A and B are shown apart, each in its own frame.
Chain A
């Protein structure tokens, strides 16, 4: 079974530029998450989708971050314009549905803003 796929793995951009990350969840997984992990910290949920609807985006900085999950499958996370403090690993994850089902993580997309 293929895992959660993310791209690009690494990205370096200058502040005020834009960047987009793509995620393809495990086939059949209805729930998709984007987490931000700053160096030395635990992952923080940015947005959670159930199929193509948003369940929780309370911690998404909506003035610069946006995410979509068209057709309820893959998803894109965009940052525009980027700030230095956005340097982090962006982790995509998916699960069959909610509750106690295992959440599977991708390898992450490493962003450095200079």
Chain B
């Protein structure tokens, strides 16, 4: 079975500071990894995905994530936080070869302090 663990249900950063949201995965097969963002009362929007190509993945809105197999991690970062980044962020894992279910973490709520 595959799963992801998001460390920290709430993260607060000052505007202009580094954003770091942590995600560790567990998968018995090479995983596909995703970060989604959810704004209040909206659906999920894909930020970026890792599909076994480059380990450093760049996404929308200045976000990026690095796949580290040795650490089983896929942390999300952004160099400088903006007020519009305030939202809920979900890490998700999807396997392959008959195990393609997309499994989400419990989410991290990001608050930006002016």
Contact surface of A with B, Cβ cutoff 8 Å: 4, 33, 40-45, 48, 55-56, 91, 93, 98-100, 102-108, 110
Contacts and interface: CB of A to CB of B under 8 A. Distances in A.
A98 B102 CA distance: 10
Q: Which of B52, B104, B105 has the most CB of A within 10 A?
A: B104
A45 to B, nearest CB: 6
Interface of B: 32, 34, 36, 41-46, 49, 51-52, 90, 94, 96, 100-107
A107 B103 contact: no
Q: Which of A4, A43, A104, A105 has the most CB of B within 10 A?
A: A43
Q: Which of A33, A103, A107, A110 has the most CB of B within 10 A?
A: A103
B100 A102 contact: no
Nearest to A106: B43
A42 B104 contact: yes
Given A33-B102, A99-B32, A91 B44 contact: yes
A107 B107 contact: no
Q: Which of B44, B51, B96 has the most CB of A within 10 A?
A: B44
Nearest to B51: A100
